[in-house]
């Protein structure tokens, strides 16, 4: 069960499906810890109704939560590193939009059911570059907890997640290694195709 939590990563829902309790948070005044805890609460809420909602419902319910807590445009730039500057403006925008869809799809796929899981806050620390690192873990019934470390940077007046490390595995580092290699060896169109394939796979599983 732990494995699916390590895999990282607007569709309308019928009115007969249960509505999850995704509460609003003013990110302009929220601390880094509050941003992470709000996002985690949204994940748990969606998980509790995951089967009834289905993939489309989970995606719809998590869309605002993910985009409001993650700095997805920055993540898109970091993922491809120096290759970003070689892309045209249209390519940059297309890749940014794809990364946003991929991120939401990943959460909708990996957090799809509930078996008593809960998040616990451990500690936080400031980084040398002005960021905040939030240490927490996901408690799983009859299994080992998964350690989650959230790196946040202040964007304008709000804190946003720019990387998540699960049990020592950096989602950002994995994607950067894979995507820069594809760009360099196969080109932009191939990367777009592979990301779209992954999004489609998430929607079917």
Q: Which of 55, 147, 151 is nearest to 104 (CA)?
A: 55
Domains plus CATH for the chain?
2-204 (3.10.450.710)
SS3 assignment, position 124? strand
pLDDT tens across the length of the chain (205 residues): 444 555 443 222 222 333 344 444 555 679 999 999 999 999 999 999 999 999 999 999 999 999 999 999 999 999 999 999 999 999 999 999 999 999 999 999 999 999 999 999 999 999 988 999 999 999 999 999 999 999 999 988 899 999 999 999 998 888 899 999 999 999 999 999 999 999 999 998 6
Backbone angles phi, psi at 126, to 5 degrees: -85, 145
Neighbours of 160 (CB within 10 A): 22
Gyration radius from the chain CA atoms:
17
The structure's pTM equals 0.83
Q: Which residues pair with 118 in a beta bridge?
A: 139
């Amino acid at each position: 069960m732990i494995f699916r939590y390590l895999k990282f990563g607007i569709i309308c829902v019928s009115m007969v499906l249960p509505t999850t309790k995704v509460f609003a948070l003013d990110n302009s005044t929220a601390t880094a810890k509050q941003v992470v805890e709000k996002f985690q609460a949204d994940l748990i809420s969606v998980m509790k109704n995951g089967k009834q909602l289905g993939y489309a419902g989970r995606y719809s319910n998590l869309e605002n939560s993910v985009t409001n807590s993650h700095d997805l445009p920055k993540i898109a730039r970091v993922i491809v590193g120096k290759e970003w500057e070689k892309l045209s403006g249209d390519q940059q925008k297309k890749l940014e939009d794809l990364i946003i869809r991929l991120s939401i799809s990943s959460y909708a796929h990996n957090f799809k059911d509930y078996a008593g899981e809960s998040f616990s806050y451990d500690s936080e620390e400031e980084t040398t570059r002005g960021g905040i690192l939030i240490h927490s873990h996901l408690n799983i019934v009859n299994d080992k907890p998964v350690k989650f470390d959230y790196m946040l940077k202040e964007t304008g007046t709000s804190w946003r997640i720019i990387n998540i490390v699960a049990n020592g595995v950096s989602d950002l580092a994995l994607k950067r290694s894979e995507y820069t290699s594809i760009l360099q060896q196969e080109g932009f169109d191939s990367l777009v195709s592979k990301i779209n394939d992954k999004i489609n796979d998430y929607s079917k599983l």
